[in-house]
Amino acid sequence: MRKSAARANPGLKDVDLPGRTRVVRAFMWPLPGAMGGGLFGYAGMLYGRWGGGMVLVLVFAGLLLTFTLPLAFAALSGRAANALYNPSGSGAPRRREYSQAESLAARGLYDEAVAAFEVASAEDPTDPTPSLRIARIYRDRLAKHEDSALWFKRALDRAEPGSGIALLVVKEIVELYAVKLGSPARAVPLLARLAEGRPGTPEGAWAREELRRLKEQLAEGRDA
């Protein structure tokens, strides 16, 4: 293992060289501005335009300017980056992990996976992800389609209106009714509520169009 110089030789002090270098650089930043202000003021004094007081003012102004400008630029750059990568302004986005439940599902332990997702759903009632995972397990792995429909509805209730996940859940519910349950008419009330309750959102627009198509399909079936 590498030892510091102080440990190798007790007569020496252990010096944080990178830290001291940063301190020296911080104090060296303003020097060019101070020198520039001083030279400018001195030239003015030689030509009889300013007195010694103005020279001191220019030196101090150059010192202050070259010290504060980099800090201001760094602060503005940080704000711009935050606005670009986190436009909501609410800090770092929270990302939940469901590794235990996913691991259970991957091993074919679907009932246990459902139970784990139910715990996660109870811990955060605002997150639609656990409800969506449960609905898919019931639909694709356990063939419990009524339970699947129930959890899809819960996922939709928790999804933010206008979000991509909301539109995805609506499509999966309608497909579940039409294909797995063989009862597309059951999707009509849901689509009607969405079309009326979420106007101006992607899922509302899709529900309105799907409702129109589904009604035409049902009417053709009755006529036949």
| 179 inside domain | yes
Q: With a cut of 90, say whether residue 137 has pLDDT above it.
A: yes
CA distance 81 to 125: 31
Asked if 35 and 65 touch (Cβ cutoff 8 Å), the reply is: no
pLDDT tens digit string along 67-97? Answer: 565 555 545 655 554 444 444 444 433 446 7
Proportion of the chain above pLDDT 90, given as a percent: 47
State mean pLDDT over 15-24.
Answer: 48
Is 141 in contact with 110 (CB distance < 8 Å)?
A: yes
Rounded to whole angstroms, the Cα distance separating 170 from 209 reads 12
Token pair 């101006």 in the structure block, residue? 200
Whether 36 and 62 have beta carbons less than 8 Å apart is answered as yes
Using alpha carbons, select from 149, 195, 194 the residue that is nearest to residue 172.
149
Q: Work out the angle at residue 171's Cα, subtended by the Cα atoms of residues 168 and 176, and round it to the nearest 5 degrees.
A: 125
- 124 Rama class: left (phi>0) / alpha (psi -120 to 50) / beta: beta
Taking the C-alpha atoms of residue 148 and residue 146, their distance in angstroms, rounded to an integer, is: 5
Predicted TM-score (pTM) of this structure: 0.56
Is pLDDT above 90 for 145?
yes
Residue 53 belongs to a domain: yes
Determine the length of the chain.
224
Q: Tell whether 65 and 107 lie within a shared domain.
A: no
Angle at 134 between CA 205 and CA 201, to 5 degrees: 15
Candidate ranges 9-23, 49-63, 182-196; pick with highest mean pLDDT:
182-196
The tokens describing 155, both together, are 């996922």
Residues 104 and 192 in one domain: yes
Q: Look at the block and give the residue holding tokens 């302004």.
A: 89
Same domain (yes/no): 108, 217: yes
Task: Please report how many Cα atoms fall inside a 13 Å half-sphere around the Cα of residue 68, on the Cβ side.
Answer: 6
- The number of distinct structural domains making up the chain is 2
Give the three-state DSSP class for 58: helix
Average confidence (pLDDT) over 98-120: 96
Range of 59's domain?
19-72
Looking at residue 167, its amino acid is L
Residues 120 and 212 occupy one common structural domain: yes
Tell me, yes or no, whether 40 and 124 share the same domain: no
- 124 has a pLDDT exceeding 60: yes
Percent of the chain with pLDDT over 70: 56
Residue 49 is classified by DSSP as: S
Split at pLDDT 50, 70, 90, the class of 220 is confident
Select, from the ranges 55-64, 147-156, 213-222, the one with the highest average predicted confidence (pLDDT): 147-156
The pair of structure tokens assigned to 170 is 């609506």
**80: Cβ contacts below 8 Å, ≥ 6 apart:** none
- What integer is the mean pLDDT of 103-122? 97
Quick check: is 114 in a domain? yes
Give residue 218's pLDDT: 86
